[in-house]
Amino acid sequence: MTRKTEIGYYALVVVLVLGSLRFGQLMWQQPQTLLHLQKQAKQLKNKQVTAKTSHQKLKQVVAKSTITKASETSQQFFDLAYNWSSGSDYKKRITKIKQAKLVTSQVLANDYLFPEVGGTTDYIDNNGLKSSVVQVAYYPKTTNDDQTSGVVGVAVNAKHDSDVGNGETRYYYFNIDYQTSDNQITSLDYVGRLAVNQSTDFNTFNPYE
Protein backbone atom coordinates (compact mmCIF):
# COMPACT_ATOMS: atom_id res chain seq x y z
CA MET A 1 0.00 0.00 0.00
CA THR A 2 1.49 3.33 -1.07
CA ARG A 3 1.68 6.31 1.24
CA LYS A 4 -0.97 8.12 -0.76
CA THR A 5 -3.32 5.15 -0.70
CA GLU A 6 -2.80 4.73 3.07
CA ILE A 7 -3.71 8.37 3.70
CA GLY A 8 -6.85 8.00 1.60
CA TYR A 9 -7.82 4.86 3.51
CA TYR A 10 -7.47 6.56 6.91
CA ALA A 11 -9.37 9.57 5.66
CA LEU A 12 -12.23 7.31 4.58
CA VAL A 13 -12.24 5.59 7.97
CA VAL A 14 -12.43 8.96 9.73
CA VAL A 15 -15.33 10.03 7.52
CA LEU A 16 -17.19 6.77 8.21
CA VAL A 17 -16.61 7.08 11.97
CA LEU A 18 -17.80 10.70 12.04
CA GLY A 19 -20.79 9.78 9.89
CA SER A 20 -21.69 6.93 12.23
CA LEU A 21 -21.44 9.23 15.25
CA ARG A 22 -23.62 11.86 13.57
CA PHE A 23 -26.16 9.22 12.53
CA GLY A 24 -26.22 7.85 16.06
CA GLN A 25 -26.72 11.36 17.45
CA LEU A 26 -29.60 11.98 15.06
CA MET A 27 -31.18 8.63 15.94
CA TRP A 28 -30.95 9.53 19.65
CA GLN A 29 -32.27 13.07 19.14
CA GLN A 30 -35.27 11.98 17.08
CA PRO A 31 -37.18 10.19 19.87
CA GLN A 32 -36.12 12.95 22.29
CA THR A 33 -37.53 15.59 19.93
CA LEU A 34 -40.72 13.57 19.43
CA LEU A 35 -41.09 13.18 23.19
CA HIS A 36 -40.60 16.92 23.63
CA LEU A 37 -43.24 17.70 20.99
CA GLN A 38 -45.66 15.26 22.59
CA LYS A 39 -45.07 16.89 25.97
CA GLN A 40 -45.70 20.35 24.49
CA ALA A 41 -48.91 19.13 22.83
CA LYS A 42 -50.11 17.66 26.12
CA GLN A 43 -49.35 20.90 27.97
CA LEU A 44 -51.20 22.93 25.32
CA LYS A 45 -54.20 20.62 25.55
CA ASN A 46 -54.23 20.91 29.35
CA LYS A 47 -54.06 24.71 29.07
CA GLN A 48 -56.99 24.70 26.61
CA VAL A 49 -59.08 22.49 28.91
CA THR A 50 -58.21 24.71 31.90
CA ALA A 51 -59.07 27.86 29.95
CA LYS A 52 -62.39 26.38 28.80
CA THR A 53 -63.27 25.29 32.34
CA SER A 54 -62.31 28.71 33.74
CA HIS A 55 -64.45 30.43 31.09
CA GLN A 56 -67.44 28.23 31.94
CA LYS A 57 -66.98 28.93 35.66
CA LEU A 58 -66.71 32.66 34.94
CA LYS A 59 -69.95 32.56 32.93
CA GLN A 60 -71.67 30.75 35.82
CA VAL A 61 -70.40 33.34 38.32
CA VAL A 62 -71.52 36.22 36.08
CA ALA A 63 -74.95 34.67 35.56
CA LYS A 64 -75.34 34.10 39.30
CA SER A 65 -74.33 37.71 39.94
CA THR A 66 -76.94 38.94 37.42
CA ILE A 67 -79.67 36.88 39.09
CA THR A 68 -78.64 38.12 42.54
CA LYS A 69 -78.77 41.74 41.40
CA ALA A 70 -82.18 41.21 39.80
CA SER A 71 -83.48 39.67 43.03
CA GLU A 72 -82.12 42.52 45.15
CA THR A 73 -83.52 45.20 42.83
CA SER A 74 -86.92 43.48 42.81
CA GLN A 75 -86.93 43.41 46.61
CA GLN A 76 -86.06 47.11 46.81
CA PHE A 77 -88.69 48.05 44.24
CA PHE A 78 -91.58 46.18 45.89
CA ASP A 79 -90.54 47.37 49.34
CA LEU A 80 -91.01 50.93 48.09
CA ALA A 81 -94.15 50.15 46.08
CA TYR A 82 -96.10 48.06 48.62
CA ASN A 83 -94.84 49.12 52.06
CA TRP A 84 -96.97 52.01 53.32
CA SER A 85 -99.01 52.84 56.39
CA SER A 86 -100.68 56.12 55.46
CA GLY A 87 -102.13 58.00 52.52
CA SER A 88 -99.07 60.21 52.50
CA ASP A 89 -96.72 57.20 52.24
CA TYR A 90 -98.88 55.80 49.46
CA LYS A 91 -98.61 59.02 47.41
CA LYS A 92 -94.82 59.19 47.79
CA ARG A 93 -94.19 55.73 46.29
CA ILE A 94 -93.47 56.84 42.72
CA THR A 95 -91.21 59.69 43.86
CA LYS A 96 -89.14 57.34 46.06
CA ILE A 97 -88.83 54.77 43.27
CA LYS A 98 -87.76 57.46 40.78
CA GLN A 99 -85.10 58.67 43.19
CA ALA A 100 -83.80 55.13 43.66
CA LYS A 101 -83.63 54.64 39.85
CA LEU A 102 -84.78 51.04 40.15
CA VAL A 103 -87.08 50.91 37.11
CA THR A 104 -87.62 52.57 33.74
CA SER A 105 -90.32 55.16 33.06
CA GLN A 106 -92.29 52.42 31.29
CA VAL A 107 -92.62 50.48 34.53
CA LEU A 108 -93.63 53.59 36.45
CA ALA A 109 -96.43 54.09 33.91
CA ASN A 110 -97.87 50.63 34.69
CA ASP A 111 -101.56 51.15 35.56
CA TYR A 112 -101.78 47.98 37.64
CA LEU A 113 -98.85 48.88 39.87
CA PHE A 114 -99.71 52.54 40.18
CA PRO A 115 -103.45 53.01 39.53
CA GLU A 116 -104.83 56.54 39.53
CA VAL A 117 -107.92 56.17 41.69
CA GLY A 118 -109.38 59.25 43.32
CA GLY A 119 -109.92 59.14 47.06
CA THR A 120 -107.45 56.30 47.67
CA THR A 121 -105.34 58.25 50.14
CA ASP A 122 -108.44 59.30 52.11
CA TYR A 123 -109.64 55.68 52.21
CA ILE A 124 -106.23 54.54 53.55
CA ASP A 125 -106.21 57.15 56.30
CA ASN A 126 -109.89 56.77 57.24
CA ASN A 127 -109.64 53.00 57.58
CA GLY A 128 -106.15 52.72 58.99
CA LEU A 129 -105.13 50.53 56.03
CA LYS A 130 -101.55 49.29 56.10
CA SER A 131 -99.66 47.35 53.46
CA SER A 132 -96.44 45.40 53.99
CA VAL A 133 -94.30 43.15 51.82
CA VAL A 134 -93.94 39.67 53.29
CA GLN A 135 -91.74 38.08 50.63
CA VAL A 136 -90.27 38.68 47.18
CA ALA A 137 -88.97 35.74 45.15
CA TYR A 138 -87.35 35.80 41.72
CA TYR A 139 -87.48 32.80 39.34
CA PRO A 140 -85.05 33.32 36.43
CA LYS A 141 -85.87 31.84 33.03
CA THR A 142 -83.12 33.19 30.75
CA THR A 143 -79.92 34.87 31.90
CA ASN A 144 -76.72 36.25 30.36
CA ASP A 145 -74.00 38.61 31.58
CA ASP A 146 -76.14 41.74 31.27
CA GLN A 147 -79.78 40.70 31.31
CA THR A 148 -82.17 38.30 32.94
CA SER A 149 -85.84 37.54 32.41
CA GLY A 150 -88.23 35.51 34.49
CA VAL A 151 -91.05 35.68 36.99
CA VAL A 152 -91.11 37.53 40.30
CA GLY A 153 -93.54 36.58 43.05
CA VAL A 154 -94.65 39.07 45.70
CA ALA A 155 -96.51 38.30 48.92
CA VAL A 156 -98.27 41.38 50.34
CA ASN A 157 -100.15 41.66 53.61
CA ALA A 158 -102.97 44.20 53.96
CA LYS A 159 -104.60 45.04 57.28
CA HIS A 160 -107.23 47.54 58.40
CA ASP A 161 -107.31 48.86 61.94
CA SER A 162 -110.67 47.14 62.34
CA ASP A 163 -109.40 43.74 61.22
CA VAL A 164 -109.24 40.97 63.77
CA GLY A 165 -106.01 39.01 63.45
CA ASN A 166 -103.14 39.65 61.08
CA GLY A 167 -105.08 40.82 58.04
CA GLU A 168 -104.90 39.13 54.63
CA THR A 169 -101.83 38.08 52.67
CA ARG A 170 -102.12 37.85 48.89
CA TYR A 171 -99.63 36.36 46.46
CA TYR A 172 -99.05 38.06 43.12
CA TYR A 173 -96.64 37.28 40.32
CA PHE A 174 -95.25 39.28 37.40
CA ASN A 175 -93.16 38.75 34.28
CA ILE A 176 -89.96 40.73 34.70
CA ASP A 177 -86.96 41.86 32.66
CA TYR A 178 -83.84 43.21 34.36
CA GLN A 179 -80.82 45.01 32.86
CA THR A 180 -77.53 44.75 34.77
CA SER A 181 -75.71 47.65 33.07
CA ASP A 182 -78.40 50.10 34.24
CA ASN A 183 -79.31 48.12 37.37
CA GLN A 184 -82.96 48.59 36.44
CA ILE A 185 -86.12 46.62 35.92
CA THR A 186 -86.98 47.36 32.28
CA SER A 187 -90.41 45.71 32.19
CA LEU A 188 -92.82 44.38 34.80
CA ASP A 189 -96.15 42.91 33.70
CA TYR A 190 -98.80 41.55 36.04
CA VAL A 191 -99.56 37.88 35.33
CA GLY A 192 -101.95 36.94 38.08
CA ARG A 193 -102.59 35.99 41.65
CA LEU A 194 -102.18 32.59 43.23
CA ALA A 195 -105.54 30.94 43.75
CA VAL A 196 -106.65 29.70 47.15
CA ASN A 197 -106.04 26.07 46.15
CA GLN A 198 -102.49 26.80 44.91
CA SER A 199 -99.35 26.62 47.02
CA THR A 200 -98.75 29.94 48.70
CA ASP A 201 -95.15 29.12 49.52
CA PHE A 202 -92.78 30.88 47.12
CA ASN A 203 -90.05 28.49 48.18
CA THR A 204 -91.86 25.64 46.42
CA PHE A 205 -93.83 27.60 43.82
CA ASN A 206 -92.80 26.88 40.21
CA PRO A 207 -94.17 29.39 37.66
CA TYR A 208 -92.90 27.31 34.72
CA GLU A 209 -94.86 24.12 35.36
* Structure confidence at residue 105 (pLDDT): 93
* pLDDT tens-place values along the chain, 209 residues long: 565 565 555 555 544 545 555 545 545 555 555 566 566 666 666 655 554 454 454 445 455 688 899 999 999 999 999 999 999 999 999 999 999 999 999 999 988 889 888 889 999 999 999 999 999 999 999 988 788 999 999 999 999 998 888 889 999 999 999 999 889 999 999 999 886 555 556 777 777 77
pLDDT of 57: 46
The DSSP output letter for 86 is: S
Tell me the per-residue pLDDT of 103-146, one tens digit each, with 9 for 90 and over.
Answer: 999 999 988 889 888 889 999 999 999 999 999 999 999 988 78
Residue-level pLDDT at 54? 46
Strand ranges of the sheet holding 168-179, from the earlier edge strand across to the other edge: 130-143, 147-159, 168-179, 184-193
Domain assignments of the chain as residue spans, ordered by start:
64-193
91-97, long-range: CB within 8 Å, 24+ apart, which pairs?
91/121
Helix (H) or strand (E) holding 18: helix 3-82
Fold classification of 64-193 (topology level): Nuclear Transport Factor 2; Chain: A, (3.10.450)
pTM above 0.75, yes or no: no
* Residue pair 143/63 in contact by the 8 Å Cβ criterion: yes
CA distances from residue 108 to 79, 118, 149 in whole angstroms, order as listed: 15, 18, 18
Centre a 10 Å sphere on the Cβ of residue 67 and count the other Cβ atoms it contains: 18
The whole-number pLDDT of residue 202 equals 73
pLDDT in tens, 22-32: 545 545 555 55
Helices 3-82 and 93-100, axial angle in degrees (round to 10): 160
